[in-house]
């Protein structure tokens, strides 16, 4: 037991030292060497989405909540790599929900910041081209789509996200909701996401979440969404 | 027994008249009314839990969030009653998740308000719960270890949910357990008695604690109502839920 701990901690400190140099192949600990997740910078100021989303919400949401997902994901990634190296299957399984939650939190928020933009940078300007066509085909109009999307957001029981996703097989777009930090993976690709966790709106809107769902369309970056289409 | 009834029935003609009148309206079940729940008043003022839980949080949490669960529950139960009346089974099934969520919200919050107390009250001291504390010590070793275990469970919730100390009755055996539930899932399992719960939805603490939920979990110990906890510990599941009957 103690020798295992010793080995683990030696590997760990090795990892910390060598982590930034991801190309150091050939070392005994190669399998542990991987790039760490980092908090992406916002492409706009914290206050730039006002009045739809307050600067205080954006600052906490990005620098605290998202950062915590990043930090925790890195911690549990290290642990699962160690468990894999020691062929500890039970520990790898035990860590999977934590990877899903914190990794999902990192992925979801990274996509979210990108699919928002201040009005001065095109926020709220309707989609064009292929994505506009797919939305019109599926929902009749952008207004009807937004109505359905807001209904989906309001129907989330607890914490979660609503996404416009594209089916990788049929290429159709559809609205789906995901619990907690479950990421859009597998059959679907994320096109546009809106965070329905209370921390995303509570300081400004409290229990009036329908007002947040209505206001956020003013700062949706449809250009970013268009680029995600396959 | 049945023979006696029938023979009496045949003997007295007035009964036969009544019976035939009823038989003419075989599908009239009389007034169909769904139960209608109302918001139970708080047993203390909105600001009574300060500084640990702000008056603003309490007012929104009780006056808005809890009320919304009740409003949505009553609407769903009304629709369900109509669906039962018209034997519309698909509507009945489609309503189940909404009823679970909103009824759970009503149950959880009703229990929660009662298991909180102003910090200055003797009810907020563990000395108000001698039997329960004895069982806690027997289960976790000491109060601190119990609190650490409870805290770890609360902070491990991924998303919205609740942490509960519950008593589980299995035959003659009764034991304590810490459980977490997601969203508004209530603790209503067979033999499970909720003793006290802590709301880990962000709306329960965010206006005051922001992303610092560990501080909320630390501070809530100051306002746990141990007197209520003791009553639930020595009582039955029905005793714990009597607040729900009072709010109908």
Task: Specify if A71 maps to a domain.
Answer: yes
Closest CA to A129 of A28, A24, A227: A227
Task: Specify if B2 maps to a domain.
Answer: no
Closest CA to B61 of B9, B23, B113, B127: B113
pLDDT digits (tens, 9 = 90+) for A159-218: 999 999 999 999 999 999 999 999 999 999 999 999 999 999 999 999 999 999 999 999
Inspect the interface and report whether the beta carbons of B60 and A97 lie closer than 8 Å: no
For residue B245, list its beta bridge partners: none
What integer pLDDT is reported at residue B33 of this predicted model?
Answer: 77
pLDDT digits (tens, 9 = 90+) for A164-180: 999 999 999 999 999 99
Instruction: Using only the alpha carbons of chain B, give its radius of gyration.
Output: 23
A19 close to A86: Cβ distance less than 8 angstroms? no
B233 close to B131: Cβ distance less than 8 angstroms? yes
User: Strand, coil or helix: what is A178?
Assistant: strand
pLDDT of residue B82 exceeding 90, the answer is: yes
Structure-block tokens of residue A92 = 């790898």
Cα four-point dihedral sign B95, B75, B157, A76: positive
Buried b / exposed e across A151-165, counting CB within 10 Å, b at 16+? ebbeebbbbbbbbbb
Task: Specify if A47 maps to a domain.
Answer: no
Three-state SS annotation for chain B? CHHHHHHHHHHCHHHHHHHHHHHCCCCCCCCCCCCCCCCCCCCCCCCCCCCCCCHHHHHHHHHHHHHHHHHHHHHHHHHHHHHHHCCCHHHHHHCHHHHHHHHHHHHHHHHHHHCECCCCCHHHCHHHCHHHHHHHHHHHCCHHHHHHHHHHHHHCCCCCEEEEEEEEEECCEEEEEEEEEECCCCCCCCCEEEEEEEECCHHHCHHHHCCCHHHHHHHHHHHECHHHHHHHHHCCHHHHCHHHHHCC
Which residue has better confidence, B219 or A5? B219
Structure-block tokens of residue A93 = 């399984």
Which residue has better confidence, B139 or A9? B139
Inspect the interface and report whether the beta carbons of A158 and B206 lie closer than 8 Å: no
Task: Specify if B44 maps to a domain.
Answer: no
Inspect the interface and report whether the beta carbons of A198 and B203 lie closer than 8 Å: yes
| Count of the separate structural domains present in chain B | 1
- HSE (CB half, 13 Å, CA atoms) of A209? 25
Segment among A226-230, B145-149, B227-231, B233-237 with least mean pLDDT: B233-237
Q: How far apart are CA A173 and CA A138, in angstroms?
A: 7
Q: How far apart are CA B92 and CA B79, in angstroms?
A: 8
Inspect the interface and report whether the beta carbons of A198 and B183 lie closer than 8 Å: no
pLDDT of residue A107 exceeding 70, the answer is: yes
What integer pLDDT is reported at residue B32 of this predicted model?
Answer: 63
Containing structural domain, residue A225:
1-13+52-230
Q: How far apart are CA A193 and CA A191, in angstroms?
A: 7
- Can you tell me the mean pLDDT for B11-30? 43
In Å, how far is B52's CA from the nearest CA of chain A? 18
What integer pLDDT is reported at residue A103 of this predicted model?
Answer: 98
Where residue B202 sits, what CATH number does that domain have? 3.55.40.20
Q: pLDDT band for position B246 (50/70/90)?
A: confident
B191 close to B169: Cβ distance less than 8 angstroms? yes
What integer pLDDT is reported at residue B66 of this predicted model?
Answer: 98
Q: pLDDT band for position B1 (50/70/90)?
A: very low
Q: pLDDT band for position B165 (50/70/90)?
A: very high
- Can you tell me the mean pLDDT for B70-96? 97
What integer pLDDT is reported at residue B170 of this predicted model?
Answer: 86
Task: Specify if B34 maps to a domain.
Answer: no
C-alpha dist (Å) from residue B67 to B40, B54, B131, B162: 9, 19, 34, 18
What integer pLDDT is reported at residue B171 of this predicted model?
Answer: 86
pLDDT digits (tens, 9 = 90+) for A23-33: 333 334 334 44
Q: pLDDT band for position B172 (50/70/90)?
A: confident
What integer pLDDT is reported at residue A34 of this predicted model?
Answer: 60
Q: Is residue A19 exposed (0-12), middle (13-18) or buried (19+ Cβ within 10 Å)?
A: middle
What integer pLDDT is reported at residue A187 of this predicted model?
Answer: 97
Q: pLDDT band for position A1 (50/70/90)?
A: very low
Q: pLDDT > 70: what percent of chain A?
A: 85
- Mean pLDDT score of chain A, rounded to an integer? 89
In Å, how far is B247's CA from the nearest CA of chain A? 23
- Who's near A88: CB < 8 A, 6+ residues apart? A82
Q: How far apart are CA A141 and CA A125, in angstroms?
A: 14
Which residues from chain B sit within 8 angstroms of residue A158, using beta carbons? Answer: 159-161, 182-184, 201
- Who's near A129: CB < 8 A, 6+ residues apart? A226
| Count of the separate structural domains present in chain A | 1
Q: pLDDT band for position B215 (50/70/90)?
A: very high
Buried b / exposed e across B211-244, counting CB within 10 Å, b at 16+? bebeebbebbbbbbbbbbbbbbbeeebeebbeeb
Alpha-helical segments (H) within A65-182: 67-85, 89-114, 129-139, 142-154
> Would the annotation count A109 as a binding residue?
yes
A67 in contact with B, Cβ within 8 Å: no
Inspect the interface and report whether the beta carbons of B203 and A160 lie closer than 8 Å: no
What integer pLDDT is reported at residue B225 of this predicted model?
Answer: 98
Structure-block tokens of residue A113 = 């910041």
Which residue has better confidence, B74 or B1? B74
Q: Residue B170: how many CB atoms within 10 A of its CB?
A: 9
Spatial strand order of the sheet with A173-179 comes to A173-179, A160-167, A188-195
The residue among A157, A178, A195 with the most chain B CBs within 10 A of its CB, best to mutate, is: A157
Task: Specify if B63 maps to a domain.
Answer: yes
User: Strand, coil or helix: what is A164?
Assistant: strand
Task: Specify if B36 maps to a domain.
Answer: no
Find where tokens 């996703």 sit.
Answer: A165
The residue among A58, A65, A159 with the most chain B CBs within 10 A of its CB, best to mutate, is: A159
pLDDT of residue A18 exceeding 50, the answer is: no
Where residue A143 sits, what CATH number does that domain have? 3.55.40.20
ipTM: 0.85
Q: pLDDT band for position B72 (50/70/90)?
A: very high
Q: pLDDT band for position B248 (50/70/90)?
A: confident
pLDDT of residue B27 exceeding 60, the answer is: no
pLDDT of residue B99 exceeding 60, the answer is: yes
Which residues from chain B sit within 8 angstroms of residue A54, using beta carbons? Answer: none
Minimum-distance CB partner of B203 among A68, A101, A207: A207
């Amino acid at each position: 037991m103690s020798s295992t701990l010793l080995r683990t901690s030696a590997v760990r400190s090795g990892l910390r030292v060598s982590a930034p140099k991801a190309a150091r192949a050939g070392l005994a600990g190669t399998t542990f060497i991987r790039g760490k997740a980092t908090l992406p910078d916002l492409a706009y100021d914290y206050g730039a989405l006002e009045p739809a989303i307050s600067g205080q919400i954006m600052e906490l949401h990005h620098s605290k909540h998202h950062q915590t997902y990043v930090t925790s994901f890195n911690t549990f990634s290290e642990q699962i790599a160690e468990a894999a190296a020691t062929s500890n299957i039970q520990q790898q399984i035990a860590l999977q929900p934590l990877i899903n939650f914190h990794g999902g939190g990192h992925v979801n928020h990274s996509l979210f910041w990108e699919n928002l933009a201040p009005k001065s940078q095109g926020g709220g300007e309707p989609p064009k081209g292929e994505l506009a066509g797919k939305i019109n085909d599926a929902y009749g109009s952008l207004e009807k789509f937004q109505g359905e999307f807001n209904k989906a957001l309001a129907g989330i029981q607890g914490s979660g996200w609503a996404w416009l996703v594209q089916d990788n097989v049929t290429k159709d777009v559809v609205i789906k909701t995901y619990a907690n930090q479950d990421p859009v993976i597998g059959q679907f690709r994320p096109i546009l996401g809106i965070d329905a966790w209370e921390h995303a709106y509570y300081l400004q809107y409290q229990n009036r979440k329908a007002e947040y769902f209505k206001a956020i369309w003013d700062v949706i970056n449809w250009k970013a969404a268009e680029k995600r289409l396959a | 027994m049945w023979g006696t009834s029938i023979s009496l029935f045949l003997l007295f003609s007035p009964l036969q008249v009544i019976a035939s009148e009823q038989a003419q309206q075989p599908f009239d079940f009389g007034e169909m009314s769904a139960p209608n729940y109302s918001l139970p008043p708080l047993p203390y003022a909105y600001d009574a839990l300060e500084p640990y839980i702000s008056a603003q949080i309490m007012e929104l949490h009780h006056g808005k969030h809890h009320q919304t669960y009740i409003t949505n529950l009553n609407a769903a139960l009304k629709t369900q009653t109509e669906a039962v009346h018209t034997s519309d089974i698909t509507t009945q099934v489609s309503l189940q998740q909404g009823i679970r969520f909103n009824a759970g919200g009503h149950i959880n919050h009703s229990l929660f308000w009662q298991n909180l107390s102003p910090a200055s009250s003797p009810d907020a001291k563990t000395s108000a719960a001698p039997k329960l504390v004895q069982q806690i010590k027997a289960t976790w070793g000491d109060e601190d270890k119990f609190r650490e275990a409870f805290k770890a469970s609360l902070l491990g919730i991924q998303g919205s949910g609740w942490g509960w100390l519950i008593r589980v009755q299995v035959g003659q055996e009764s034991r304590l357990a810490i459980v977490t539930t997601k969203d508004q899932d209530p603790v209503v399992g067979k033999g499970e008695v909720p003793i006290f719960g802590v709301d880990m939805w962000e709306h329960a603490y965010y206006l005051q604690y922001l992303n610092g939920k560990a501080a909320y979990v630390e501070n809530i110990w100051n306002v746990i109502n141990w007197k209520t906890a003791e009553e639930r510990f020595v009582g039955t599941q029905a005793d714990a839920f009597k607040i729900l009957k009072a709010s109908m």
